[in-house]
Amino acid sequence: MRSIFASFVMLMSLCSSTQAQQLDPGSSPQRVIYATTEQQPEFPGGLAKLKEYIQKNLRYPSSAQKAMKEGTVFLNFIVSEKGTPEDVRVRMPVDPALDAEAIRLVQSMPNWTPAKIAGKSVACRYNLPIKFAL
């Protein structure tokens, strides 16, 4: 039987310290959400810990295993001013079971260090690809 291996492929963020801060298209006067910030949001412990969290907590759905489904689910979510992952959306779906598991994984994450502008915590949109491989 093939061993199951789910790994973190790469981490991409629209929040970048090298760009001027820009508002996200989903931003509104009631809720300001940035696409780019001075300091990007960070998973507790950084990228290495994010990769470790994904590898440890990802559960490959049995229906996807049986159907031999694999691929990379691209997610988009907001890291709130308090660091909470919110409004998790699938941007590039692969399979309903894999998509649902990727969403569950992000929704169960601990709070991040929020993005900052001029030292103030702000909400920022973040992109995260999650690879499922058998």
Residue 13 pLDDT more than 60?
A: no
- The pLDDT, as a whole number, for residue 70 is 97
pLDDT of residue 2: 36
Range of the domain at 92: 5-133
Q: pTM (2 decimals)?
A: 0.81
CATH number at residue 79: 3.30.1150
Work out the average pLDDT over 103-111: 98
pLDDT, mean of residues 77-83 = 97
pLDDT tier for residue 30 given thresholds of 50, 70 and 90: confident
Digit-coded pLDDT (tens) for 116-130: 999 999 999 999 999
Predicted pLDDT of residue 12: 36
* Average pLDDT rounded to a whole number, residues 62-84: 97
> Has residue 14 got a pLDDT over 80?
no
DSSP string, the chain: -PPPEEE----B-S--TTS--EE-TT--SSS-EEEE-SB--B-TT-HHHHHHHHHHH----HHHHHTT--EEEEEEEEE-TTS-EEEEEEEE---HHHHHHHHHHHHTSPPPBPEEETTEEEEEEEEEEEEEE-
